[in-house]
Amino acid sequence: MTKASGTCTLVGAGPGDPELLTLKALKAIQSATVLFVDDLVSDAIVAYAPPTARVVYVGKRGGCKSTPQAFIERLMLQAVREGEQVVRLKGGDPFIFGRGGEELEHLRSAGIDAQVINGITAGLAGITSLGAPLTHRDHAHGVIFLTGHAKPGRGTTDWRQIAATARDGKLTLVIYMGMRGAEHIQTELLHALPATTPAVVIQHASQPKQRHAVTTLGELHATITREQLASPSVIIIGDVVQGIAALGQQPLQRRA
């Protein structure tokens, strides 16, 4: 690969709580000269950037006006070629629905060998904050991470097959970007999973404004509507959610 004058690092900022940053992520942020920041990265994390660093917000959020992906990639490439120490700061983990794979491919095709620093993903942080796991020897033998918002033109998720796999394998489902399609997802999953399957919706995982509602698969969409839960949220479905009620968590953390 040809050597570029600058560097680029894709950094997972985690779900929002700055104390969940890895030391490696913190060092990268503190050494950046320019940061391209996603919408879901908290201000408390951006505050770790040097005061001389240029911060460029390139938000991408489902249902909202977003910066085109190709434009973000061009900005990153240009900054590296200009000698900047570039940090692409992403909510959660760059490689879990963070488009990090696309950006890494683009950079490598241009001769830039970018680094990737993992971050804690929102699905894990959210359920952990409620005192429950994603896997459990008695209740969940594995976990499936899914997006409820597939790339246009790439087909739709076979939720019925996912439900059958989760049922037969005792798997936890963690669904990102699924709020707008929650009613459809619920209907399809009910073809193979019981309506009584525990579920929880967690909004703003790990942040001070976090809210959650414990429900069942059969009541999922009704609960989201009634409690006015919205993006960014993760939906977690499976028997591990029983642990939240067992620990005495309130069914809903309401807004002040």
Q: Kindly list the distances between the CA atom of residue 75 and the CA atoms of 10, 95, 241, in Å, as whole numbers in the listed order.
A: 14, 20, 42
Given the structure tokens 């900022």, which residue do they identify?
A: 13
Residue 38 bears catalytic tag:
yes
Compute, in degrees rounded to 10, the torsion defined by CA atoms 152, 97, 174, 251. Answer: -100
Both tokens assigned to 91 = 């909510």
Separation in Å, CA 11 to CA 107, 150, 217 = 15, 23, 34
List the one residue out of 74, 84, 78 whose CA is nearest residue 52: 84
Q: Map tokens 């085109």 to a residue.
A: 68
CB-CB contact of 90 with 13 (8 Å):
yes
Which candidate in 90, 93, 177, 179 is catalytic?
177
Q: By the 8 A CB rule, do 244 and 200 touch? A: yes
Active-site residue flag, 3: no
Of these residues, 17, 60, 90, 93, which one is catalytic? 60
d(CA 101, CA 252): 35
Catalytic residue among 17, 38, 90, 179: 38
What is the Cα gyration radius of the chain?
19
Which residues carry out catalysis?
38, 60, 177
